[in-house]
């Protein structure tokens, strides 16, 4: 089962070789990239929201949006993951080729692996193609449009998206192929026939994503995509003066290699980093959070314009939504799917149970919870929970506002803040 967007963002590393490499490239695009990790933290950083309930609403809405196939969020993630996964295998081949060239008694390796320049060229142009396709999916463009992409790249790309393209130029262009990498790529592409490109493992990995009905059409799109971004790439190199040596210098804090082996460094980085997937997840998360935030704000405005109308989560808990429902007899949350909605009541099908258990539940007894990110049993800020009141001998719905150790500061839903209080973990479900 594919991981949820919540889990993908929560599992992003705060510090590994990929993060170090991206931070080292900050000198090319100063201050553009911040390694945002953790979904709730990303919501706060991107939207500026601090209210736990609003953050929870954005999170819940994002979960729903992510699973709507027409929006392209999952498809974009798949593209970023696929290109990085296939790239690792290609980098291994490129590294073996470089070893064969440099070390005499291993020269047989260079005879059985692709030439590194050819491998690197195909790697770069296919990453450009993937970027154009993912951009189109995230922006609701039915057919990938290289010109529309490069216009946005020139004028609006920033944050993780811009850093991904900067890393592409530096790590897949300048470092392995040299300052004249653009002319080298043109030379390789013009001297490589369609059949050779189509047989490349990286091409095969993303073949189904490429527009076109045959290999010739697909390679034509790849070439068109690269041609469209050449000007931007050339301008970036000219403006920043980036060179293989300057890149190597900034990477030198954690990679110890002689500077006459820059081609080894490039192949090594391709093999050990996943900057495309890492920044791709951050790009999708940003787009998803901004869209969810917009929708949540619209809902709040609509509710405010109708002060007498009872607040409802019917939009969030639409038919087909995966939820958790509270069973007051068992005093436990159970996974379920919303089958029908009537006002603030929801007819649900419990996961793993036959239809005889289907029932109507109130809004107070339903919530969206990302199971993947909280399977460890821990609670998080903004989560909707049930809190046991010993005096009343009753469960009350609440949201968690703060956490300290095994104590939780909760706000009771439907009550003003004077009732907010700290409760122990055993009182929360």
- Per-residue pLDDT tens for 374-389? 444 568 888 889 999 8
Beginning with the edge strand found earlier in the chain, give each strand of the sheet holding 332-342 in spatial order: 359-362, 345-350, 332-342, 322-327, 366-367
Higher local confidence (pLDDT), 412 or 162: 162
Cα separation, 427 vs 408, in Å, equals 10
User: What confidence score (pLDDT) does residue 102 get?
Assistant: 44
Which residue, 329, 283, 245, 10, is CA-closest to 164?
A: 283
Mean pLDDT for the stretch of residues 405-424 = 86
Q: Which CATH architecture has domain 383-427?
A: Roll (2.30)
Within 8 A by CB and 6+ apart from 187, the residues are none
As to burial, measured by CB atoms within 10 angstroms (0-12 exposed, 13-18 middle, 19+ buried), residue 98 is: buried
Cα separation, 301 vs 212, in Å, equals 44
Domain with CATH 2.30.30.140 in the chain: 321-367, 383-427
> Per the structure block, which two tokens stand in for 411?
């706000």
Full-model pTM: 0.67
Domain 321-367 in this protein, CATH class: mainly beta
Find the range with the poorest average confidence among 103-117, 211-225, 401-415.
103-117
Mean pLDDT for the stretch of residues 210-232 = 95
Helix H, strand E, coil C: the string for 172-198 is: HHHHHHCCCHHHHHHHHHHHCCHHHHH
Cα separation, 323 vs 317, in Å, equals 8
User: What confidence score (pLDDT) does residue 375 get?
Assistant: 41
Higher local confidence (pLDDT), 49 or 406: 49
Under the phi-then-psi rule, with left for phi > 0, alpha for psi from -120 to 50, and beta for the rest, what region is 148? alpha
Within 8 A by CB and 6+ apart from 260, the residues are none
pLDDT digits (tens, 9 = 90+) for 266-288: 556 666 789 999 999 999 999 99
Cα separation, 429 vs 186, in Å, equals 61
What phi, psi does 354 have (nearest 5°)?
Answer: -75, 175
Higher local confidence (pLDDT), 343 or 231: 231
User: What confidence score (pLDDT) does residue 291 get?
Assistant: 95
Summary mean pLDDT of the chain: 84
Specify whether the CB–CB gap between 181 and 136 falls below 8 A. no
pLDDT of 312 over the 70 cut: no
User: What confidence score (pLDDT) does residue 260 get?
Assistant: 45
Cβ burial 364-399 (10 Å sphere, 16+ → b, else e): ebbbbbbebbeeeeebbbbbbbbbbeeeeeebbbbb
Share of the chain above pLDDT 90, in %: 49
> Per the structure block, which two tokens stand in for 196?
């050779």
Q: How confident is the model at residue 305 (pLDDT cuts 50, 70, 90)?
A: low
């Amino acid at each position: 089962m594919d991981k949820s967007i919540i889990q993908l963002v929560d599992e992003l590393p705060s510090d590994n070789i990929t993060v170090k490499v991206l931070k080292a490239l900050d000198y090319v695009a100063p201050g553009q990239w911040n390694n945002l990790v953790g979904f709730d933290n990303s919501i706060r950083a991107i939207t500026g929201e601090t209210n736990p309930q609003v953050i929870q609403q954005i999170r819940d809405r994002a979960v729903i949006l992510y699973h709507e196939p027409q929006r392209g969020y999952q498809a974009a993630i798949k593209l970023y993951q696929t290109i990085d996964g296939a790239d690792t295998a290609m980098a291994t081949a490129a590294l073996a080729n470089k070893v064969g060239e440099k070390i005499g008694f291993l020269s047989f390796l260079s005879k059985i692996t692709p030439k590194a320049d050819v491998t690197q060229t195909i790697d770069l142009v296919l990453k450009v193609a993937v970027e154009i396709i993912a951009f189109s999916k995230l922006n609701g463009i039915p057919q990938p449009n290289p010109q529309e992409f490069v216009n946005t790249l020139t004028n609006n790309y920033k944050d993780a998206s811009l850093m991904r393209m900067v890393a592409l130029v530096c790590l897949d262009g300048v470092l392995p192929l040299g300052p004249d990498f653009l002319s080298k790529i043109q030379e390789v592409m013009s001297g490589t026939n369609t059949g050779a490109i189509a047989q490349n493992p990286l091409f095969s990995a993303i073949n189904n994503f490429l527009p076109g009905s045959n290999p010739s059409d697909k390679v034509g799109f790849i070439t068109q995509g690269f041609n469209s971004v050449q000007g931007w790439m050339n301008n970036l190199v000219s403006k920043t003066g980036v060179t293989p040596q300057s890149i190597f210098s900034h990477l030198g804090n954690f990679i110890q290699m002689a500077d006459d082996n820059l081609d080894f460094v490039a192949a090594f980085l391709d093999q050990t980093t996943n900057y495309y997937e890492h920044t791709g997840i951050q790009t999708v998360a940003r787009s998803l959070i901004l869209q969810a935030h917009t929708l949540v704000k619209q809902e709040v405005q609509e509710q405010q314009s109708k002060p007498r109308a009872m607040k409802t989560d019917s939009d969030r808990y639409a038919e087909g939504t995966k939820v958790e429902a509270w069973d007051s007899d068992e005093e436990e949350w159970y996974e379920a799917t919303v089958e029908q909605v009537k006002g603030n009541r929801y007819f649900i099908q419990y996961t793993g149970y036959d239809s005889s258990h289907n029932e109507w539940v109130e809004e107070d007894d339903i919530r969206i919870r990302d199971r993947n990110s909280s399977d460890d049993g821990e609670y998080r800020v903004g989560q909707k929970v049930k809190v046991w009141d010993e005096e009343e001998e009753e469960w009350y719905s609440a949201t968690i506002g703060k956490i300290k150790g095994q104590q939780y500061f909760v706000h009771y839903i439907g009550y003003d803040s004077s009732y907010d209080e700290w409760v122990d973990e055993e009182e929360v479900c």
